[in-house]
Structure 1
C-alpha cells in the first residue's frame, strides 16, 4: 500500500474537507493516491477515532443544508484514508511513510498548532508539531531528499510561508547542515492555502456533518503538487482576496458572535443560527459588517466581493440544518480576536473600527 498523501491531524474538519475531496476524486481517477492520517497530539481519548478513520468501509460525512433555495442532504462514504497512525505509538512508521511514500503533506493542527514546547528537541519523538515536522524533513533529506509539497490548512494568514519561516529557523538552531537548509528552500514547496467549510458536528467514532458550501483555495507556485482535482479546489494566482474575505468576514463574524455569547452568559448549547434569531444580535452583526468591515474591503478595491460574501456568510450562518455551537467557536477566543480583529485593523489602518477596537483592547 502506497499513500502519497500524508495528513497531520484527525479533525472532523479535515474529514469533511480534504479527506472527502480526495475520496471523491479517487472514484474518478483524479487524485494522486490515498491518505495516511497521523494523530499528532497523542491524546488517548482519540484512539478510537484514529482507528475508525481507516476502516475498510470508510466513514460517513453528511452534507446538509441549502444550495440556493433547495434543501440538500446526502451521505458520502469517505474511503480515501487507508492507514491511520499516531506519533505517540507509531513514530518509526510515520517516519518511514514520510520518507518513502509522501508527495504531499497536509496539516490542520489547530489554532495553536505551530506553538513550540518547552525544552523540545529532535531526540526520540519531539513534543510539538513543528519539531516533529523538522525531524521528519531531516529524515527525508538524509534518505535522498525527494521533492515534497507541504500544504498547511491551519487558519493562519500565508500559512505556508509562516510554517516555512518557523521550520527554517528551527533548522538553523538545531542543525548546522547548510545543505539541509538549502534543500528546505529549493526542493520543498511551502504552499499557502485557505480552507472554507462549516463542519458543525462530529459523527462517532469518525465522520462529520457539514454544509454544502466548500472551498479549498491554493496559491499557485512552481513545482506545486495538488492532491487531487475537485470542484471545490481552486488553484489561484493570488490567495489574498480569498484569505481576507474568509478571515475577516466569516471567521470574524463567528468570533463576534462568540464574544456576545461569552459576555452575555447565554445558553451553553446555543448555536449560530439560534443566536441570530435574536433580532438585536442579528442587527449588531450586520451593522458591524456594514459600518466597519465592508469599508475596509472597499479601501482595497474589494467592496463588491465583500458585500457578496457577507450575504453568502449570513445565509450560511442561518443554515437550519446545522448545529454549529458557539461553545465550539469560542475555543482559543483570545488568539482568534488577535488574528481576526487586530489583523483586520492592521490591514485597514485608515478605517474607523470602534467596536472591533473596543473588543480587541478588552
Structure 2
C-alpha cells in the first residue's frame, strides 16, 4: 500500500477538503500528536471555512522527532476526532492539509532563520511541554540551534527584527500558568544575557503580541492496535505513518488584545476558539468543572467497583452524584456567564462518556491529595463562604478521598501504599511519600481519629479544616457510611 501524499490521496478517491498550496503564515515549535490534532486542525478548518489561505511550518523541538515522516507525506496526515456529542457516538475523519513541511533545526537551523524573515509569517505557535518554557544559562546566541526553546525563539525573532519585518503573534500552548507571559519573560532575559540592543527589546515588547492560552482537547494520539490500523488504512486506501486521534471536544482560549479575534481566522470560521482579556476564569472553569468532577467522584466510584470513567456515566447514582456536585455546588461559585458554565458542564458528561477511550479510574487517582486541594477545595470553601453551609457532595468526595487512601491498608511499598478494595483485590495508592507515610502511620486509627488527623493536617490543606463548624462530624459520618454501606450507597445518600 502506498504512503500518503497528495498524489496518493487523489488516487484514493478522498473527497474531503484539501489545500495543496498557500503562503506559510505559521511557524510551529512542536510536531507531536497534540498540536496536529488541535492547532493544525483549527488552521485547516480556517482554510476551508474562512478562506484563510495559510500553511503551517512545523519545527521539531528536540533532536529526535517526526521531520522525515512529515516531509515524506508532504505534511498530510489523517485525523480522527472521536467521542460523544449529546449522547450520540461521533467518529469523524479528516485529512489535514494545513501543514506544508517540517524543519529539523538540529540539521538545518538556517532554514528556520530563513522562515523567520518571511513577509508571510504572522504567527508562532509552541507546545514544547511544561518544561519547555525555561531560562537556561547554557543557551548561547551562536549555537545552532540554542539549547532551550525560549532561546531558539529569541534567535528567530532577532533574525526577523534585523530583517526589518513586522512583529508576530506568539501563541503559547504549554500547560503552565501564564504561558505566554512566562515565554516573553524568558525572551527578555536572553536579550539581556546576550547583550543584544535595547532597540530589539523595544521591538519585542511593543511590536509582538505574546498570548497566554488555555488548550483543552484529550489527544490519545497513535492508534496502538495493529488490526484497527490495518482496517483504517484499507478503508482509506493508503498507508499513513502519522494517523492521529483526538476527542471530538476541543476549545482554545487565547488571552489577547482587542482586535486580535478579528485578525485570527477562527471566529470567521465558526470554531471553538475565543480571544478573551483574561484566560484565568476559563482555566478556573476547566480545573473546577472538568478536573474537579474527575477528582470528586472517581475515588468513591473505584471503591464501589467501577474501573473506567465511561462506565460511571452509565451508573445513575454515580452520574447523579457528579451532576449534583457540578450544578449545585461548583458552578454557583464560578465567576463566568452561567450559560457558558452549563454548556461546559454538559460537554463534560459527553467527554466522560467517550466510547473510544477507556480512561481508568486508577490513572486519575494519582496524587489525589494535591488534586483535591487544587481542584475541589476552592469550590468547597467558596460554597461555605457564600452559602454559610457545607456542600453535601463535595464533603462526601473528601470522605471518599480519605476512604480510598485508608481502605484495609496492607503495606507500604517504595512508591505506593497498598490497600484492599471492598470486592477483594489490592490496589496501589500513589502520591507524595509524605502523604503515603501519613496514612500508613494512621492505618489503625478509628474513623474519628483518622478524620481529625486528616482535616487538621496543615501540610495537606495549608489550614486546619477542623475549624469549619460541623465539618469534622459530617466527614466522620460520611466515612463510616462509605465503609459500612459501600461508596455507591453513600453517594446515593447525597441525592
Fold in common (TM above 0.5): yes
Give the structure 2 partner of residue 212 of structure 1: 248
Verify: 1:319 aligned to 2:358, yes or no: no
Verify: 1:119 aligned to 2:138, yes or no: yes
Query: Could you say which structure has the greater relative contact order, defined with CA pairs below 8 angstroms and 6 or more residues apart?
Result: 1
In 1, Cα distance between equivalents of 2:364 and 2:159: 37
Verify: 1:3 aligned to 2:38, yes or no: no
SS class of match (2:290): helix
Give the structure 2 partner of residue 51 of structure 1: 69
Give the structure 1 partner of residue 206 of structure 2: 186
> How big is each residue's C-alpha offset from its partner over 1:144-175, in whole Å with a ceiling of 9 and x where there is no partner?
14221111122333332232223223323332
Structure 2 runs not aligned, ≥5 long: 1-21, 224-239, 385-393, 402-454, 462-495
Verify: 1:165 aligned to 2:165, yes or no: no
> How big is each residue's C-alpha offset from its partner over 1:296-353, in whole Å with a ceiling of 9 and x where there is no partner?
42xx3666654553342133112112345679879xx87x958x95488689975668
Give the structure 1 partner of residue 167 of structure 2: 147
Q: How does 1:221-300 map to 2 (within 5 A)?
A: 221-222=257-258, 224=260, 225-226=263-264, 228=266, 229-238=268-277, 239-253=279-293, 256=295, 272-273=309-310, 289=326, 293-294=330-331, 296-297=333-334, 300=335
Verify: 1:12 aligned to 2:22, yes or no: no
Q: Is the 8 A contact 1:341 1:360 kept in 2?
A: no
SS class of match (1:179): helix
Q: Is the 8 A contact 2:298 2:364 kept in 1?
A: no
In 2, Cα distance between equivalents of 1:66 and 1:359: 41
> How big is each residue's C-alpha offset from its partner over 1:253-308, in whole Å with a ceiling of 9 and x where there is no partner?
55x389969x99x99xx7643677799987886687578744642xx366665455
Change (3 A) 1:219 1:196: same
Q: How many residues align?
A: 349
> How big is each residue's C-alpha offset from its partner over 1:185-214, in whole Å with a ceiling of 9 and x where there is no partner?
111011233222222232473132222222
Q: Which has the larger radius of gyration?
A: 2
In the TM superposition, residue 29 of structure 1 has moved relative to its aligned partner by: 5.4
Give the structure 1 partner of residue 57 of structure 2: 36
Deviates more, 1:192-201 or 1:222-231: 222-231
In 2, Cα distance between equivalents of 1:360 and 1:248: 22
Give the structure 2 partner of residue 75 of structure 1: 93
In the TM superposition, residue 236 of structure 1 has moved relative to its aligned partner by: 3.4
Q: Is the 8 A contact 1:200 1:324 kept in 2?
A: no
In 2, Cα distance between equivalents of 1:327 and 1:92: 46
Deviates more, 1:169-178 or 1:140-149: 169-178
Change (3 A) 1:251 1:9: farther
In 2, Cα distance between equivalents of 1:235 and 1:308: 15
Deviates more, 1:161-170 or 1:90-99: 161-170
> 1:26 aligned to 42, 47, 61, which one?
47
SS class of match (1:95): helix
Kindly report the root-mean-square deviation, in angstroms, between the aligned alpha carbons of the 2 structures. Answer: 4.1
Q: Is the 8 A contact 1:21 1:230 kept in 2?
A: no
Change (3 A) 1:6 1:138: same
Q: Is the 8 A contact 1:220 1:236 kept in 2?
A: yes
In 2, Cα distance between equivalents of 1:80 and 1:216: 18
> 1:96 aligned to 99, 111, 114, which one?
114
After TM superposition, the score normalised by the length of structure 2 is 0.59
Give the structure 2 partner of residue 202 of structure 1: 222
Q: How does 1:323-334 map to 2 (within 5 A)?
A: 323-324=358-359
SS class of match (1:157): coil
SS class of match (2:106): coil
Change (3 A) 1:119 1:236: closer
Verify: 1:84 aligned to 2:102, yes or no: yes
In 2, Cα distance between equivalents of 1:288 and 1:50: 48
